[in-house]
Structure 1
């Protein structure tokens, strides 16, 4: 028996040897892999079999150097050029466009499989689409499809521009997949279809490649304080390009969604860089309540398989579990988890470029454990220091991806069956449990947002039906779990052991300010009267009545401010004012903030109604008898630093989407002064750091650092340009900002920036609040109006929900609480509760005048998400209006322009712009 077993082993050995000898190995390439790898344990033998193909060019032949060579990274044009060469020389490669970025670069997908897979690609896509909808495909039909279908495995890289290994690695992987005849590679090629997204964010990638060659290549130390990242990635968003999966607002996300719904991949793997040495995702939990248990189990099986395979090849430092949680559904790759597929990611250690550095891991901790400790989830940790090269990164990521592709190639039928079963489960849940449907009435405080909610659900692949008065979304459909997740409040467990990785609440009706009804029975619904929507819907704004004056009832509609700018562009003589208080006009009640428009005509107002989804009432009256304020639309500037552009980008994006004109300014504009002559309002979006960082900016010892477009660095200078990024506005710039307010300007500061303005003394009445044990990850919570006369809260009820994260708190002295326009929660601060006890020096109140204190019942503070020790925030200020000279500082202690997501909160900013010169 033993002799037979040894004979079998020898046979396998000689078969593998014959495969390798049948193909000529590229000895030069393989030797260079060794040369650029710093430790033999970082290089598995399986990567040293790259072949020298006679007709298909390797990266070495194409570029003149191997992937992972010291000091070499490639722009998107070079990367796409290589894939075009592979497609031109191999029938196993298909390359297709998937759209354009905001800056006009192409998105591409590369499809790799055996010749039959590429020739019959449409057929395989049709099969996965049929498996995606259990209403169209019975269990019996699904089994027949599974016998013929192939899993589609989607691998993406380059979402975050500083994570520079994976886009390079995928070129070598692609070459390996189409040239190697080794058994594991042939199994991948024949049994699955690999879809590669080579650079998820082409705009940011090209900027970062230019940055590397311009500034960071060859720096001696990794941690020397020099910024490793270019200041901008995409035109608008930075790292949050991986937080856009709910709003699907950016070109990168639209491309990812398009790829998902075209291919219905069984597994999606997103390649990132951060932690040492290779993290393979599963997550610590709590997991999202609406991810199918099959997917959660697949995370464990595939994660441990990949760690085991990396360990089996002798590579230390691979681990799972202890990073990230698995709760927030808005990451790019969660298009898979949200739609019955399997979304995974890797984090490989990276140096933000192609240099080698001695890296110190000794103090890095994940889930409380040192990165160098041996744990059940990390069987072979790295040493406290590693000499880490670009090629090391390539080796680790490629080994992991090959392991995962091999798993799919050897378990394809199970993965396809699981994919079908998850959709089947979702349909069954919609039929048998929980809500049967949701309805969205078209008549809302902001009808445009009701249509927007319907559209956003359709973007997610959720079916929406329409009748005359409402939208109907039935639960019995393949993405039922996602539907319920988006439409109902989240409850993050308070006893979760580890802090959440991101926001923990995303209930769209609250974020959009739309009333939704949940139906647990469909009795009385004539379903035949509803039609399935197949394209985007829009609220049909209207003009009723007759006359040459017009009124719009104000309910904090998002589109009103852009409509006013549009009207003024069309008719600069138009008269626009707002009611300062509630009034009865023509027998109807109109709240404060309602618009009164004169010196225009019916055609112009009809155009506004149609374009901006608004309802107007025509009137023969000229409104002269009502207390009103004339509107002087402001000149708005949005400030950006050069050290943190994340939220400023979201603000710019929001203004542009809404059609609100603005000017982007930076430190040089503040230092130049004379701000009030150019701007009426300056918005300072949320920016990280403190007053010191805000004043000083990027350390001037690194200057001058131009961010300008040149022939050598063509991607720089976009979307902003400067001759020197270093330094900040300095004290002179801060004084000019103070003078801007004193001269009558309005300074709006959001979240952390409001705390910075208080630190700098620009809002002198505000002071930071020690929040003690408060833990407030991104949740939807209740706020209460304290000063209903302020136009900032026009259109809002006394109590309403907002989205708030872990930002700083501010407060005034008790005698200045009139500056607080809105507070968190409905209860007052302790120092505002009237004292009812005896007072020395004053006679006791007669018993008849004594009032027994009663605890007022209030709404729960948390609407969705979780807040620990909420008593630390309830009663504190949400928004403050601080007079300074002739102007005002408006301080929001939350971000009302968060990720183009909390649209219900944004009109408080629009109210500020409409009433910028009437806040005193």
Structure 2
């Protein structure tokens, strides 16, 4: 149903009579009761009058309620002052203690380093008293199935909109966590009519530091180095090499919420289901407000695409009326990718809002140069930023951010019922669309080779509150017949559009448009499992039960001949692609485990090459079962089964200091799959390092831009910048330490890698890191090239072809072709150039192409790739022997964020079978241009 009388957008902009606050330009409402010291401060701290607004040029005072300065010792936006999270939270608790009827704090979880993640609610006394009832009502609105029209009307009329604001997701963006401290105070104490209206009509929640660990680490770095940065340029000391434990900027790209602290934010959102989530960021714009430009995800409700410009245009209107230049919308971030943290709101029928406010990387006033598009007048930028140099203080940024947020909250308070009703309508539309329009469901068939991957997808869907059913009987529909146990994701549910977004092929809407992040994320392809699209409506009536909890894959051993009881048995664990095989090997590190060189059968059951042969024990059986692995107990192996020892390697992961983030995803995966490793960097690979005495395998994840940047990293253009533990700055020095993050391994370090390989070590490179052994002669016969102009590939899924299925890297991959996320390069060439094959012959160091990209338009499986012929027949995985060792080069990135689980197995095989690759079947080389 659609409630009448809420189409108020036109009335608003035509100046219709409404709630108490008018739309006219508001003069300052400062009074004699305000904080006089703050009024002087803000005028001095703001570098030009036009960078201040009448909403924030004063600060109200209330007896018995501490201002931020009363607790912190300084006004928010003071030169060279940034606030640690513990102090921010201390202030929020003090505010709660002083105004318990208006303010409530809530710890929503812990970070990886054990710090509290805190939300603070600010609203009226009546709303706070009714907070839990309002939450329960909002959850009913979010899932309106079964509600009558009368119940909907009652809920919409009686439920306050919940507006959630998050700050500090990106730790180098220093203003937002400061802004929201003062914002919380203003909202709690001000008696200005528009703020009273906000308190009465809106429940505001604030996440003061979304990445708590990263915020503290950046503040430590700022106080250690950046306070010395000069006003007029000169040396810039950047930021710390780590924010959170694992990821950096990608904490806003964790589409599957693999990082625990990010999952805490998702869980909090799903508990409270606020209709609006406003994420405040910084860039080089004075204030950009997100309005949802193309390309747009068509699975999201059309209502959303009216709400976003409605809010954004109002903000541009109001801040422009205050004389603040450089406020605009459109022309920046698009609505295609669902993977941003705050996109949890849009994905769940709410509204993601976002700001980008000017960033100067700290709290020093600096000379900023404004240039580019933000200084040009456009229909969406009526009052552009001034061209040229301008003094910019952190207080300027705080003024912009707070003025925008107060304006957005004011608009919400004017039309609270519209916000709630739109939320209901989008949720109701989602249910209806899933029952009226194909596709009606997705089915993940039972009986796939690796049930752990299948169950992981079901659990990842459930993580985002998508309903997943399990078939209780065979399902016969137009598309196929599916066995009992198949998973059915019906789309006639509130989060059906999200399920469709995640599971379907991404058909990019306009190849002429670029996108802000990935163009594809199709879950079946990312996990290398079969997912079927169902257009037969009868699937909605299929016999299936709703999963009430996450699925635990139950492994087990068949024992057809009673081998377990007979003693001295062998457990054969199938290598069917399960990633937990490597976990099993490490859990049984003291066992003498071997692996089958080739596939073999026992009766009707096939055991692929790489299947593990494990001495029987109760412990081994328990681990096999707990890890969801499948196998058989036998008294003796069939005749002719050849095997090799599965030796555990000593592993290091190599990281640059300039780009730790992509390495962080690999560290996360290794930690989750219990793969021990040392994290090494430039200091560990200097002349005389003798790496082979310490490690058998060194993994070099995707990082930086090319091989040269891996070797040389950051130029030494400033003073030394240590990243080390110390008693003053306790967040520094975690995960790795160095006396100077600048510089790189240099040619001496590259030579140590070459010695490592030639002495018997295995170097495994991923993505751009594969340019390093190619460019520096470590992988002989391999070249790394950049795509030609006109090539554009923002993370599509493409087809690859396995050329060497018997190679240990490909154990567990049974199909001839694989979906692979294209990493953007490099484009590899392996083998001699055309016409030179006769001079190479069968050299033992001739590189072998294990798998290649098929290329062409037909090879683009999901998402966008322009000029796909450039990757035709280009090597994807290369085995390059060198001396006693070898280099395994992946042109793809087998561990991309928390997504490409279907590619992890290639990397894990490279670790498990590191010294078992000699003599693998050869393949034909690929020459320049990708032709055979």
Output the TM-score relative to the length of structure 1.
Answer: 0.91
The secondary structure found in structure 2 opposite 1:140 is: helix
In the TM superposition, what whole-angstrom CA distance separates every residue of 1:738-763 from its partner, at most 9, and x where no partner exists? 11101111100111110122112222
| Bigger Cα displacement from structure 2, 142-151 vs 664-673 | 664-673
The secondary structure found in structure 1 opposite 2:549 is: coil
Given candidates 777, 797, 801, the residue that maps to 2:819 is 801
Match of 2:341 in 1: 332
1:689 shift after superposition:
2.7
CA contact (8 A) 2:257 2:898 kept: no
Please give the residue correspondences for 1:38-53 in structure 2 after superposition, counting only pairs within 5 Å: 38-53=47-62
Structure 1 Cα separation of the partners of residues 551 and 466 of structure 2: 14
Residue 553 (structure 1) aligned with residue 563 (structure 2): no
Change in Cα spacing, 1:302 to 1:17, as seen in structure 2 (3 Å) is closer
Residue 378 (structure 1) aligned with residue 407 (structure 2): no
Given candidates 529, 537, 556, the residue that maps to 1:542 is 556
Match of 2:626 in 1: 611
CA contact (8 A) 2:696 2:761 kept: yes
Structure 2 Cα separation of the partners of residues 882 and 11 of structure 1: 71
Structure 2 Cα separation of the partners of residues 494 and 579 of structure 1: 48
Match of 1:517 in 2: 532
Match of 1:685 in 2: 701
1:916 shift after superposition:
0.7
Match of 1:138 in 2: 148
Given candidates 905, 908, 911, the residue that maps to 2:909 is 911
1:705 shift after superposition:
2.0
| Bigger Cα displacement from structure 2, 187-196 vs 260-269 | 260-269
CA contact (8 A) 2:798 2:855 kept: no
Match of 2:218 in 1: 208
Structure 2 Cα separation of the partners of residues 539 and 292 of structure 1: 35
Match of 2:118 in 1: 108
In the TM superposition, what whole-angstrom CA distance separates every residue of 1:363-392 from its partner, at most 9, and x where no partner exists? x3xxxxx22111111111112222111100
Match of 2:566 in 1: none
1:360 shift after superposition:
1.2
Structure 1 Cα separation of the partners of residues 231 and 713 of structure 2: 21
Change in Cα spacing, 1:694 to 1:17, as seen in structure 2 (3 Å) is closer
Structure 2 Cα separation of the partners of residues 19 and 665 of structure 1: 58
Match of 1:595 in 2: 612
1:624 shift after superposition:
6.3
1:516 shift after superposition:
2.1
Change in Cα spacing, 1:48 to 1:875, as seen in structure 2 (3 Å) is same
Match of 1:267 in 2: 276
1:826 shift after superposition:
6.7
Structure 1 Cα separation of the partners of residues 716 and 643 of structure 2: 50
Please give the residue correspondences for 1:637-716 in structure 2 after superposition, counting only pairs within 5 Å: 637-671=652-686, 673-716=689-732
The secondary structure found in structure 2 opposite 1:94 is: strand
Please give the residue correspondences for 1:460-499 in structure 2 after superposition, counting only pairs within 5 Å: 460-466=464-470, 467=472, 469-497=485-513, 499=514
Backbone CA RMSD of aligned residues = 2.2
Change in Cα spacing, 1:87 to 1:26, as seen in structure 2 (3 Å) is same
Match of 1:762 in 2: 778
Residue 175 (structure 1) aligned with residue 185 (structure 2): yes
Structure 1 Cα separation of the partners of residues 124 and 383 of structure 2: 36
1:518 shift after superposition:
2.9
Change in Cα spacing, 1:372 to 1:669, as seen in structure 2 (3 Å) is same
CA contact (8 A) 1:222 1:351 kept: no
Change in Cα spacing, 1:144 to 1:776, as seen in structure 2 (3 Å) is same
The secondary structure found in structure 2 opposite 1:286 is: strand
CA contact (8 A) 1:283 1:322 kept: no
Aligned residues: 864
Structure 1 Cα separation of the partners of residues 148 and 104 of structure 2: 32
CA contact (8 A) 2:528 2:818 kept: no
Structure 2 Cα separation of the partners of residues 430 and 198 of structure 1: 37
Please give the residue correspondences for 1:283-432 in structure 2 after superposition, counting only pairs within 5 Å: 283-362=292-371, 364=372, 370-384=373-387, 385-432=389-436
The secondary structure found in structure 2 opposite 1:860 is: helix
CA contact (8 A) 1:774 1:873 kept: no
Residue 581 (structure 1) aligned with residue 604 (structure 2): no
In the TM superposition, what whole-angstrom CA distance separates every residue of 1:259-316 from its partner, at most 9, and x where no partner exists? 2112211111000000221000124311112111111111111111111111011100
Residue 725 (structure 1) aligned with residue 741 (structure 2): yes
CA contact (8 A) 2:229 2:237 kept: no
Unaligned runs of 5+ in 1: 365-369, 828-858
| Bigger Cα displacement from structure 2, 272-281 vs 756-765 | 756-765
Structure 1 Cα separation of the partners of residues 418 and 192 of structure 2: 24
Output the TM-score relative to the length of structure 2.
Answer: 0.90
CA contact (8 A) 1:19 1:181 kept: no
Change in Cα spacing, 1:524 to 1:128, as seen in structure 2 (3 Å) is closer
1:807 shift after superposition:
2.2
CA contact (8 A) 1:241 1:252 kept: no
Match of 1:199 in 2: 209
Match of 2:248 in 1: 238
CA contact (8 A) 2:511 2:864 kept: no
Unaligned runs of 5+ in 2: 1-14, 473-483, 564-568, 841-845, 919-932
Residue 564 (structure 1) aligned with residue 585 (structure 2): yes
Structure 2 Cα separation of the partners of residues 613 and 622 of structure 1: 23
Structure 1 Cα separation of the partners of residues 752 and 192 of structure 2: 68
The secondary structure found in structure 1 opposite 2:626 is: helix
Match of 1:868 in 2: 866
Match of 1:148 in 2: 158
Structure 2 Cα separation of the partners of residues 585 and 11 of structure 1: 80
1:623 shift after superposition:
5.2
1:894 shift after superposition:
1.3
Structure 2 Cα separation of the partners of residues 101 and 763 of structure 1: 41
CA contact (8 A) 1:703 1:726 kept: no
CA contact (8 A) 1:96 1:108 kept: yes
Change in Cα spacing, 1:224 to 1:787, as seen in structure 2 (3 Å) is farther
Change in Cα spacing, 1:686 to 1:227, as seen in structure 2 (3 Å) is farther
Change in Cα spacing, 1:694 to 1:523, as seen in structure 2 (3 Å) is closer
Match of 1:218 in 2: 228
Structure 2 Cα separation of the partners of residues 657 and 140 of structure 1: 49
Please give the residue correspondences for 1:428-443 in structure 2 after superposition, counting only pairs within 5 Å: 428-443=432-447
CA contact (8 A) 1:698 1:726 kept: yes
Match of 2:793 in 1: 776
Change in Cα spacing, 1:261 to 1:278, as seen in structure 2 (3 Å) is same
1:472 shift after superposition:
2.2
Match of 1:229 in 2: 239
CA contact (8 A) 1:130 1:136 kept: no
In the TM superposition, what whole-angstrom CA distance separates every residue of 1:732-783 from its partner, at most 9, and x where no partner exists? 2211111110111110011111012211222231112352232111011100
The secondary structure found in structure 2 opposite 1:740 is: helix
Structure 2 Cα separation of the partners of residues 145 and 523 of structure 1: 33
Match of 2:808 in 1: 791
In the TM superposition, what whole-angstrom CA distance separates every residue of 1:504-530 from its partner, at most 9, and x where no partner exists? 111111111222233323548875x53
Change in Cα spacing, 1:791 to 1:440, as seen in structure 2 (3 Å) is same
| Bigger Cα displacement from structure 2, 77-86 vs 55-64 | 55-64
1:606 shift after superposition:
2.1
